[in-house]
Chains A and B, each alone.
Chain A
Amino acid sequence: MNAARVAVWESDDIVYVAPLPQGPITVLEGSAARVWSAAHVGPIEDAAERVAGATGLPVEEIRASVDEFVGILEARGLLPPR
């Protein structure tokens, strides 16, 4: 899937994202939005560290679930593949 073009709209705590041009639109809220933002702004591999830094949670406590969710975002074409 070509993830080079992703439409993004952030509104309050909600992030709307879609791979272009085919879609669909995915709505990310709460921790999902936070993970997307963390994965989007730097190396994907370090997303868990950035989420931990932003939330104050221990990175080892959240790493597995963050990495799993990053995998879901990648599969949907919402992040560049690693």
Chain B
Amino acid sequence: MVEEVAVPLDIRLRFGRAAVQVVADRIGARVLHIKGDAVHTSLRPTSTGTDVDILVAPADVSKLDRAIRREGWRLYSTFAYGSPFGHAQTYLHDTWGYLDLHRSFPGIRLDAAAAFDVLDRQGFLIDEAGVPCRVPGIDAQAVLLLLNAARAGGRHNADVAWIWDRAATADRERLTELADELRARVALAAATADLEQYRGARDYALWKSISEGGSRSAEWWGRIRAATSARDALALIAQAPRVNIERLTHDLGRAPTRGEVFREFLQRQRRMMAEMRAWTRKPRT
């Protein structure tokens, strides 16, 4: 009568959201559920995703990280190596699957704490398997989906078509105003094929590279140019040539040997140098 059988993915994801929310409630961490089934149905032409995504108020990231690890979530990839933006950390739980914990959102240049407050401003509660979970307001959800589409380099064009292409002028203006408040106009433009209007912007090169599928080194140079401070830029420069040991571990299914790290380092350097040569030869347009 009681079985532990395969559970449909959409139900497992709902339960996963509920589970992480229960932990957040216990410690008083501010969390917004984003992407996937947390997205309002009016904005969701695509599938419900394969993992749980949450945006956490920056001041609460450390304590939520500690709390979920105590409850069985294992760190899968870190902020440093999880994505080129360093914005999210991925965890894996034996029952709930993958969880992406975002401390910021790619494309938003407003300070992460202030951005969280803006996204939370019109937020509301949704029910996830009996547990109330807070989500951003609907306009904020729309902007996040568009920014996500920009980062996906066109893979999520269904979201752009659904949200932006169908939007009335007044709706576009409202979303653009919100993007301005989040200092996300350039990334929004990358999603809406309007990027060339921002050629002089600090983060133009970054979004040009990402949205058009540029080389990895072009993306790194874009990130360095887009850094908001010299300190951040230096940190990126230091990080750029390092080997992503986490990714190598996942690819190999085990910890890499020193020799494998060494070889990967050389291969990565070679790739970047080849890309740099191609990049510097390419006529600037």
Give residues in A with beta carbon < 8 Å to B.
5-9, 11, 16, 18, 20-32, 69, 72, 76
Contact = CB atoms under 8 A, between A and B. Distances in A.
Contacts of A25: 4, 7, 11-12, 15, 95
Given A6-B130, A8-B129, A72-B2, A16 B11 contact: yes
A45 B1 CA distance: 20
List of 4 A-B pairs having minimum Cβ-Cβ separation, nearest first: A23-B95, A7-B129, A32-B1, A21-B19
B5 to A, nearest CB: 5
A24 B22 contact: no
Nearest to B3: A27
B11 A24 contact: no
A5 B131 contact: yes
Contacts, number: 77
Interface residues of B, number: 26
B173 interface: no
A24 B19 CA distance: 11
Contacts of B8: 11
Instruction: Count chain A CB atoms within 10 A of each CB in B1, B18, B19 and give the residue with the most.
Output: B1
Contacts of B131: 5, 7, 20
Given A20-B18, A23-B15, A31-B1, 12 more contacts: A8-B129, A9-B129, A16-B7, A16-B15, A18-B129, A20-B19, A23-B19, A23-B95, A25-B7, A27-B2, A27-B4, A32-B1
A24 to B, nearest CB: 5
A33 B4 CA distance: 14
Nearest to A30: B1
Contacts of B72: 21-22
13 contacts: A11-B11, A18-B129, A20-B15, A20-B18, A20-B19, A24-B95, A25-B15, A26-B2, A26-B4, A27-B2, A28-B1, A69-B1, A72-B2
